[in-house]
Amino acid sequence: MTMREITIDHLDDIARGAAILGTGGGGDPYIGRLLASSAVRDHGPVALVPLGEVGDDAVVLPVAMMGAPTVMVEKLPSAEQVGLAARTLATYLGKELTHIACAEAGGVNSLIPVVAAAQLGLPLVDADGMGRAFPELQMVLPTLYGIRATPMSIADEKGNRGVLDTVDNHWAERLARSATIDMGCSAMISNYAMSGAQARESLVPGTLSLCAELGSAVRQARAEHGDPVARVVERLGGRKLFTGKVVDVARRTVTGFARGEAKLSGMDGDAGSEMVLKFQNEHLVAERDGVPQASVPDLICCLDRESGEAVTTEGLRYGQRVTVIAAPADPRWHTPEGIDLAGPRYFGYDIDPVGVPA
């Protein structure tokens, strides 16, 4: 499905699909949908441009929310905060922006750029920097192409704002994370300003269209009394890992991240087994009876067993019946450089990546 504009009618499906691709993180999609609905209602539909149609000389600016998803649920951002981050960086760069882009395909961060595009009257690129969500801002494919994260802007809901210019993308993450903590563990950012040529080379195409497809597939499966989880697995070329009941969740906010583990007790064909999901904002490793079944950089998604709706890491609760699925990431994440940037060992897990056949 190819979209050419985003209207209010598209937002529910995009939010639902983005939550799936967000692998448990990326922020609460409900918050993103509220902000995007307000912006589109006030400013009109947002033009959506296929990545291949972005000209070489375009000035493309990703916009996102940074911080712990658990905090975002209680400390809601404002639409003005989104625009402030984008305008601050544009002023610093001294360039006329031509396009807005998504940094990641996750929950709130697939819809925050819709807000920015509507406010600024700019088209939105149908692409993102990951093809999923990751917890740290250097973990985008543009990093593999030598595109700098800075200069980047950061803004909070009080009106505080700043611009960082760092020696590399890891330092951008480190310093921006410190500022985000002081700003209440969530802030709005704009970074990875790039040319159209750089965007076409480094971004993952078709992300927002895919989000809408996934959301529509789940909605239609429920209406037809079908299996929404199976529809998602089929569309993503993934596989089911486990179906079970959440029996324990250990979650804490540390250095601006939601870190923890969730334990699932098997149901149906998985009865008698246990799965542990380990997360840092996003699900990183899925273990069945102590044996890893999937890991980053591939996608590990936790879906409600009946409805197919994504269950975010901050939304995991005792007693939920869920199905865990895995799906292949963009193949560039499986290069040695991609594994170094976002593989399991980066997060402290002494295992080789456990991938899903593409």
pLDDT score, position 68: 65
Please give the DSSP secondary-structure letter assigned to residue 268: G
Average pLDDT for 72-87: 76
Q: Sorting pLDDT into bands at 50, 70 and 90, what band is 56?
A: very high
Average pLDDT for 83-112: 92
The residues, ordered by sequence, that sit 6+ positions from 353 with a Cβ below 8 Å of its Cβ are 295, 296, 297, 298, 334, 339, 343, 344
Q: Fill in the amino acid letter for 86.
A: A
Q: Sorting pLDDT into bands at 50, 70 and 90, what band is 259?
A: confident
CB-based contact 97:54 (threshold 8 Å) = no
CB-based contact 191:93 (threshold 8 Å) = no
Q: Sorting pLDDT into bands at 50, 70 and 90, what band is 107?
A: confident
Distance CA 163, CA 152 (A): 5
Average pLDDT for 118-125: 95
CB-based contact 349:295 (threshold 8 Å) = yes
Region of 26 please: left (phi>0), alpha (psi -120 to 50) or beta.
left
Q: pLDDT per residue over 271-330, tens digit each?
A: 999 999 999 889 999 999 999 999 999 999 999 999 999 998 888 999 999 999 999 999
Mean of the per-residue pLDDT values for the chain? Answer: 93
Angle at CA 138, nearest 5°, toward 135 and 144? Answer: 125
Strand, coil or helix: what is 193?
A: coil
pLDDT score, position 25: 82
Q: How far apart are the first and last CA of the chain?
A: 21
Average pLDDT for 204-223: 97
Structure-token pair, residue 219? 């909605």
The tally of CA atoms less than 13 A away on the side-chain side of residue 253 is 14
pLDDT score, position 281: 83
Q: Sorting pLDDT into bands at 50, 70 and 90, what band is 224?
A: very high
Among the listed residues 331, 275, 313, the one whose alpha carbon sits nearest the alpha carbon of residue 70: 313
Q: Is 71's pLDDT higher than 90?
A: no
Q: pLDDT per residue over 180-213, tens digit each?
A: 989 988 899 999 999 999 999 999 999 999 999 9
Percent of the chain at pLDDT exceeding 70: 94
Burial pattern 41-64, b for ≥16 Cβ within 10 A else e, equals: eeeebbebbebeebeeebbbbbbb
Q: Sorting pLDDT into bands at 50, 70 and 90, what band is 31?
A: confident
Give CA separation, 55 vs 3, 96, 333, in Å.
19, 14, 25
Helix (H) or strand (E) holding 293: strand 291-295
Whether residue 297 has a cis bond before it, omega within 30° of 0: yes
The residues, ordered by sequence, that sit 6+ positions from 163 with a Cβ below 8 Å of its Cβ are 88, 89, 92, 151, 152, 153, 154
pLDDT score, position 255: 62
Q: Which residue has the higher pLDDT, 221 or 25?
A: 221
Percent of the chain at pLDDT exceeding 90: 79
Distance CA 346, CA 14 (A): 30
pLDDT score, position 357: 73
